Structures are given as structure tokens and as C-alpha cells.
A and B are shown apart, each in its own frame.
Chain A
Amino acid sequence: MNRYLLLCLATALAAQQAKAQTEFANAANLWHDGAVNELYNIRYHSFNPTRLAYNSQQTTGEALVSYNLTRGDFNNAGAPDNVNNLNVQLGGLKHFERVDVSGFLHYKNTSYKNQEWNSTLFLNPNNPFVLADSVTSDGNIETFAMGAALSYRFNPKIKGGMGAGLTVGSLSDQTDPRPKTNTSRFNITVGADAMLTTAWTLGLAARIELFSSNLSYTIVNPLINHRYFLMKGMGDYFRRSSGEDAGYQRDYKGTTFTGELSATFKPSGSPFQNVVILSASAGNEKATDGGSSYTFKGGDYHFTHFALKDRFMFSYNEHVLHHIIVGAEMGSGNSDWYDQKKLTDTEHGNISYYEVLSKTRIQKQQDMVVTAEYRFDRLADRQPDFYASLLATLANTTLKHYNDNGLQKQQWTNLSLNLTVGKHFTLGKGQFNAQLNAGYVMPVKDRQFATGTNVSGSDDITAVYVTRQFEWASAKRVCLGGFADYNFPVAKAVRLGLFCKVNSTLYEDDAQYFADFKSTSLTQGEFGVYVNF
């Protein structure tokens, strides 16, 4: 998947769940072209394409095939119970005289079971305007992602770069009502940096991302009436039925602008180096329903995200490397709903259309995250031999929803601690690597629950949807995981590797809001084979 998309989604999810194990997401993935670079390239977490010029490993390639499975019931209401993924990935880095390039291709084939309450694909996870049905169904998603970036050295002091990424996906299931969702995300990035002094480098980057998604429901058996839920947030929804619209169609369009300013301090000969990255993004996702038949506004979601991150690394000798990363993020999302009235134009063939009566800001979400991580690496031949990291994350989410009953407010604040340790062993001609991680997420103050649903009887989805979403996002949990990897040379500069990893999240709360979570967990396992060349 597009790396930026991953970052966006991870950021949003991290804010909701505060469950990231470490900032060094790629360093443990030895098949990844950035595995070592993430450790040594202090600009690695910038999206400025000029970061490629600072990689320690500038030419490498990777090919990977893996299979992963997700099982368990501790999941959000819109997620399936049972997911299988086949991943095929090809990527690499190449250094030319003045140019560094990177690129990747990624194909993922996903099959899932028992999914309901969300038929969208690659929508911002905080966007409340989800189109859904309540029929559990099995389905399939195919995802293809590709990306490339380039850094050009104009002269020893100035570099420029650009990059582009595309992710396309297609979701379908064959149970009435049948969603068919096609989504694409495309981004272009430009950036530059300039060495102001021998120690200071200033970088600047900008990105625009375009999002487009088409969701189309069809019905094969018209004798059964199905409900379409036009979600508005916190369980509040506008209802349509297959009785009035046999099929239902929605288009999402979105644009995100992101800017990044980075300042790197790296005095020559000093054991210290530091980078401060300030990023800001703003964007929107707008839903329009009806296809070519009519236009019904399904809701506008506007979001902003600000992040400040400081990465400090120092090494007094070639055997030890220390990292301290501290960061703060603030995200906000505003959701506007349109009250609309259906009218018929009797002068033009009785065409139905909707007139907007009012635009109302019905939901506001605020996420604040503060992180601090220390990582220690003991090195052998500039490769990690042993490492350990401790990440602490404090995350607060406030969700305000406005409906006919007034203001409904959810709030939770979680502290999470994650410990990661890893060791590399020489085993015959090959290398065996193992990592273990453990984490604990706990509320630091009382959670505040509310529901946005203001209907009664079977229309009230508080018990099946709202409580589950809230409990999933805010509950106490334990995270345990580990991986094992063995790779060995098969030719000159070519290594073949095998790996497997498991991560499990165990629900540890008292199921106060959603009783079905009691004694549940969610486990993800992956195994695969890769070639580094």
C-alpha cells in the first residue's frame, strides 16, 4: 500500500486506539528496503522526497510474497470477523550520480467474512459519513498500489525531489444488498532542502492527494426490503431502503493538502544529530449520492492535522546507537450534514431532485496525541545486534455530536506503554532474527459515553453499533506480539528470507458498554518469503 496512505490511516487509528508499538515501523521488517535506512537516516519519517539522498543503503531491491490472517472478535463494528490477505510486493532503491530513486509495486488480495456496518474502502477512518448496511456478508477486496520518488542533488547544498503514489482498490460482496466499491487515492509530492550551514539543513515539502470512490449497491432479490444506513456519526443515521431505491449509489471526492517543514541539525564530527519535522494537512471528503439519477448530498467531512516531531539520535561509538523521539499531534474533523427535500420537476419529465434546506455542522472530533520513545541499538557491523525500545503514548479523543436531543459527547484518554526487544543471531551462513513486543493500553480518566442515535425500537443501533465502536476505541487492552525471521545468502548480494509474525490484542476491560467483548481478542498472523537483492 502507498506509504503515505498507510501513514495517514495509521495516524488516525493511532489517535483512536493508541496502539502503535514503535515509531520504527519498518526497521524490523528486514525484507523492506528501508529497514536499515529507518535506523540511520534521521529524515526517514519525513515525506520530503529528498530524504532518499540521505539513505545509508541507497541501492537495494526486495520481492516479497506473504499471507496474513486476522481472527478474533475484538474489532470495530465495521470490520469483518475473519480476514485473509495475500500480499505480493516488489520494491527497491537505486542511486545514480546525482539522483536517488525509490519505487514499489504492491498487490493485495483480501477475502473476508461477516462484515457489516461499513461498505466504504479507504475512507478516512474518522469520516462519519459512511454508507453501510446491516447484513453480515462475505466479500473480497483487491488492492493495487504503486509509488515512486526521486531526489535530485542540484549541488552539494541543495536538493529537490518529487514523488507520486497511486492506490486503487475494489471491494465487492455477493450478499444482498451487494456493495461494489471502487476507490483510488493519488498523490503528488514535491520537496526541497537546502544546507544552510555545515550543521543545519532546512527542508520543505508539499503534497496534494486526490481521493475518489464510487460505491454502488445492487439488489438481486427485490422481494426483501433492505435498509441503507447513511451514517452521520455516533450512530446517528439517515435511512433509505431498497424499497424506494432498489440500488443505491454514492460517490466520494476528496482532496488533501499537506505541507512539511523540517530542520535537521547534524554537525560534522558530532555524535549528535536531530531533526524537527512540522507538518500540517487539511482536506475534505465529500459524499454525493444518486449517481446520474439525482444528487443527494451525503455529507461533507473536513479535517486538519498538525504534527510536530523531534527525532534525536546519538552514538558515541560504532557499537551503540540511541534514539529519542518525541512528538505531538492534533487532529480535528468537522462534519457537515445537509437537510434536503425531495422535489419533482413536473415541467421536465417529472425528474426528481433534492433541494438543500439547511447545512448543519453535526459532529466535531478532536484528537490529541503525545508520544515519547527511547530506542537503544547495540550494533555489529552497523547492523542491529540487539535493540530495545519503550514507547509511551498519551491519546485523547473528544467526539461531539449534535442531534435533536442536543449535544452528545464521547471522550476518552488512554495511556499506552509498549516495550519492544529484538536480537539478531548468526545461524550457519544465515541470520536469525527475533523480536518480542508487549504493550498495555489503559484509560487515565473516566470514559464518557453517549449515543447519537435518536430513534427507538429496532431503528436504535446503539446496542449493536455505537457501544461497540466506543468500547473498541477506548477500552483497556494488552498487546503481545513477536516475529521470527531467517535469511541466508543464495547468491552474491542476494538473500532469501522466511518470516512469520504474530500480534495479538487482548481485551482487558469490564465490557461496561459492550458485553460481547468480554474475554475477546484479535490476533493477526503473517508468514512469507522474500528476496533481498
Chain B
Amino acid sequence: MKKTFLKTLGALLAIVGMVPFVSCSENDEPGVKSYEVTVNLTFPEGVDAASVQDLKLVTTKGTVSDTISLNTTTAEKITLAQGQYTFSVSGKIKDDATAHVVATGSADVYADQAVTLALQTIYQSPLVFKALYTTGGVAGYVKDSYFEIVNNSDDVQYLDGLILSAPTGNQTKANAWQAAGITDRYECGQGTVVAFPGVSGGKEYPLQPGESVVVANDAANHSELANAGNNCPDLSNADWEIQITNSGDPSYIDRTLSVIFQSNQYMKAFGLGFFGRAYILAKLPDGMSPESYAADANNLMTTPGSTSTMQYLMIPSKYVLDAVDIWNSSNENNYATFLPKDDAQGVLASTAWAGKCVRRKVTKIVNGRAYYQDTNNSSNDFLNNQPLTPGVKPTEVDK
């Protein structure tokens, strides 16, 4: 019995003695380690580091992101806490309104290492048309059109000196300029070309991310001004108005876009397009005013292959922030007004005189802010025959 007890006692002592060793056998070194990551950038053909501005690197680990401004060099050393990261680099090509360089990559940072990110050129506009209403609310009434412009970026944008223009569009074949091989400059001025006040690059008229402005031809309640039974909108709360003073256009509000170019003073409204047209939002290089651009004879052109003396204001593709081709829905075939990088394919016009607009699709809503689809293809990005909701923030995503 005593032997049994001593054996049992010995076993128990061994178990008790093991406890401290079990408890201390684990690695006791705490802490999250940091490592040096060298980010190497390769630029696309035709683009060098000097032609890019605002180059930023965003490192994301889980839901936490950190933004680092990069010098326009090809390599940058950063220190990161251990983890699984995605990297996103973006920058703006200086002499093009919508051209950016972007690159993405990922790395598991558990040792010092190098990450190579190959930049590519993309065309994306921070400011885009949210809705265009040009098809009228009742036959014979032409002053109720409006254009809603939204800041679709995450940074504050400025409206100073932005140009709003309406090329003829509505094509079934190449226009005279396209036929003459001029595809990267767009003829503007069938009627008027208008612009926000100020100089491109100015900061007097900010537009916050996700916010929009309504530009009305006339900022009035058209449902009261037009004939009975109309489908016209109330635009008395519009943010801006287009003022064509020499055509007797009345002024309803103080904030007006001014005419910078006019080829037809009898056209009483901007951008009439009841069955379709093309529209441009353009931004000139910083420091340039729309008026001086329009006054420069080098930017004017007559119709190629024609004896007509009517001049057009030519706006190059690289200044275009957003272009929307609205095609006549009755046409059996349509021909694109713009280069594919600006708008590959048009959206069919809404029914004329029905008080309907074309509206850009909402892809997501985050904390009440809508984000809009912008693939530079209006047939994908826009919906036609939409109710008129000038200035109203959407609450639903378009499937």
C-alpha cells in the first residue's frame, strides 16, 4: 500500500512540477514588427515621372488606409507594420483633363522587401454629368432644359472656368471633321458655348465630393410658364443659369454661365436636343480663361471641305472632362461623336416632350453619398426616360 502511495505521490509531484514549464514554454516575445518596403514605379509608354503630378500611394491593411504623397521619382522607401497590404498609386497627367496614371498591387509584409507597381494610363473625370434634360416637356417650349453636374471624386473640385458645350452630335455617319481625319478635336458652337465664371484652376466655386449643381437654361418654374398640360420641371431652385443676353434671354438668378462663343445669335437656348445631341464638359489648362481660349483664332475652324464661313470653337479631346453622346432613338444606326476614351457609345434619347431625362447610373451609396458609373460609355453609364429630379440626391442604387 505504501509503495502504491509513494508511486502515486511521485506521479502527482511530476505533474505539479510540469506546470511552470508548460506555462513558460511559449514564445514570450510580444509586439508587432515593422519592415522597410521599397515601392518601385514603372511609368506607361509616353509618360515620364515629370509629366505626372499629385502622385499618391495608398497602403491598405484590412480596413485601415494610409495615404503617402510620393515624390515623382521611380522608387520610394516606406516603413510598414507587418500585415497583408494592398497598394494603390494614382497621379494626374499634367496636360490632359481626364488622364491619370494608376497602379495596384499587394504584398505580405513580413520581411523587408521591394514591391513593383506598373502604372497604366486611364481616363477618368472627377466632374461628370449626372443628368441631362434636353428633350422638352411640351412641344414648342425650349427653355426648360437643364444639366446636372456632380463631383464623382473624393476630393473637392472647382467649377471655375469649366466649359459647357454641345457639339452637333446625333450622327449616323462621320461628320466633316472626322471624315477629314480630325478626331481628337470636337466642333462646338452650334448656337453657343458657355462657361462658368473664372479661370481654370481657380478656387472660387468649390463643389464637395458627391455634391452636384443644376445648370438651367432658365432658372424658372417652367411648369407654370409653359402651356397647360406640360411636363416641364420647376427649375427655380437651380444653382446656375445660362444667360444668352443678346437673344433676349431673361435672367432669373444671379449665378450665370456666360456665353464665350456664339455662332448663331438666333438660337434662344443652349444645347437644344429634343431628339438627341452631344454634350461636353471641358476644363482648360490651369490659368487659362474660357474667354481667352475662345478668342484665340487658332481654336476656331470652319467646316472642312466646305465653303461655309461659319466658324466653330474646337475643343481638344484632352480638355474634355466628360462627354455624353445622346443618340436619336429613331435612327437605325448611329455614329459616335467622340473618341472611345471620351464616350464610346451613346445613350438613346428619352421620348421627346415627355419631361424625361437621361440620368447616370448610381453604383453605390456610402453614408448617404451616391457614386456614379463612369466607364466613358454612355450606353452603359446612363438610363433614359428617367423622371426629372434636379438637385435630388438618389437613395437607391441602380441594379
Q: Which residues of A contact B (CB under 8 A)?
A: 154-155, 158, 160, 190-192, 194, 204-206, 238-239, 257-261, 280-282, 302, 304, 332, 334, 336, 339, 341, 357-358, 360-364, 400, 402-404, 406-407, 454-456, 459
List 19 additional contacts besides A282-B22, A334-B28, A339-B82; criterion CB under 8 Å. A158-B2, A190-B12, A192-B9, A192-B12, A204-B13, A204-B16, A206-B15, A280-B16, A302-B23, A304-B20, A341-B84, A357-B110, A361-B30, A402-B31, A402-B32, A403-B81, A404-B83, A455-B64, A459-B63
Q: Which of A154, A158, A258, A455 has the most CB of B within 10 A?
A: A158
B23 / chain A contacts, CB cutoff of 8 Å: 280, 282, 302, 304, 332
User: Contact between A334 and B26 (Cβ–Cβ < 8 Å)?
Assistant: yes
Q: CA–CA, A280 to B16, complex, Å?
A: 7
Q: Is B108 an interface position by the 8 A CB rule?
A: yes
Which 8 residue pairs spanning A and B have beta carbons closest together?
A: A259-B16, A304-B23, A282-B23, A404-B81, A361-B30, A206-B15, A280-B19, A282-B22
Query: Smallest CB–CB gap between B317 and chain A, Å?
Result: 39
Given A190-B12, A260-B16, A404-B61: A154 and B1 within 8 A (CB)? yes
Q: A154-B1, A302-B26 are in contact. Are A403 and B16 (CB under 8 A)?
A: no
Query: In the complex, what distance in Å separates the CA atom of A154 from the CA atom of B81?
Result: 62
Overall SS of chain B's interface: mixed
C-alpha gap A284/B2 in the complex (Å): 35
Query: CB of B265 within 8 A of chain A?
Result: no
Q: Is B332 on the interface with A (CB-CB < 8 A)?
A: no
Given known A-B contacts A206-B16, A302-B23, A160 and B8 have beta carbons under 8 A apart: yes
Find out whether the CB atom of B30 lies under 8 angstroms from the CB atom of A402.
yes
Question: Mind listing 27 A-B residue pairs with CB under 8 Å?
Answer: A158-B5, A191-B12, A205-B12, A206-B15, A239-B63, A259-B12, A259-B16, A260-B16, A280-B16, A282-B20, A304-B24, A332-B23, A339-B108, A341-B84, A341-B108, A357-B84, A357-B108, A360-B31, A360-B32, A361-B30, A361-B31, A400-B30, A402-B32, A404-B61, A404-B81, A404-B83, A459-B63
Interface string of B32-54 (1 = CB under 8 A from A): 11000000000000000000000
Q: Looking at the assembled complex, report how far the CB atom of B369 sits from the nearest CB atom of chain A, in whole angstroms.
A: 13
Residues of B within 8 A of A205 (CB): 12
Within the assembled complex, what's the spacing in Å between the Cα atoms of A512 and B264? 72
State in angstroms the CA–CA spacing of A341 and B5 once bound together.
53
- Give Cα A332–Cα B19 distance, bound, in whole angstroms: 13
Contact B30 A362 (CB under 8 A): yes
Cα distance, A349 to B18, chains bound together (Å) = 45
Interface of A is mostly: strand
Contact digits for B282-298, partner A, Cβ 8 Å, 1 yes 0 no: 00000000000000000
The residues of B that contact A364 with a CB separation of less than 8 Å are 30
- Residues in B with CB closer than 8 Å to A362 are 30, 32
Are B12 and A404 interface neighbours, CB within 8 A? no
Q: Are A259 and B15 in contact (CB under 8 A)?
A: yes
Report, as a range, how many residues of chain B touch the other chain.
20 to 34
B30 near A204 (CB under 8 angstroms)?
no
A332 — which chain B residues lie within 8 A by C-beta?
23
One digit per residue, 1 when the CB lies within 8 angstroms of any chain A CB and 0 when it does not, for chain B 61-93 equals 111100000000000000001111000000000
* Nearest CB in chain A: distance from B264 CB, A: 52
Give Cα distance in the complex from A281 to B15, angstroms: 10
Which chain A residues border B82 with CB–CB below 8 Å?
339, 358, 360
CB distance A281 to B19 under 8 Å? yes
B contact residues around A238 at 8 Å (CB): 62
- The residues of A that contact B64 with a CB separation of less than 8 Å are 404, 454-456
Question: Contact between B30 and A239 (Cβ–Cβ < 8 Å)?
Answer: no
CA distance A404 to B62 in the complex (A): 12
Q: Would you call B29 an interface residue if the criterion is a C-beta within 8 Å of the partner chain's C-beta atoms?
A: yes
Contact (Cβ within 8 A) B62 A239: yes
Given contacts A282-B19, A402-B32, contact A361 B84 (CB under 8 A): no
| Residues of A contacting B20 in the complex (Cβ-Cβ under 8 angstroms) | 280, 282, 304
Whether the Cβ atoms of B5 and A192 lie closer than 8 Å is yes
Complex: A194 Cα to B30 Cα, angstroms: 43
Interface centre among B19, B62, B81, B82 (most CB of A within 10 A): B19
Which partner residue on chain A sits nearest B106 by CB separation? Answer: A341
Is B27 located at the chain interface by the 8 A CB criterion? yes
Q: Is the CB of B63 within 8 A of A257?
A: no
Which of chain A's residues has its CB closest to B34's CB?
A404
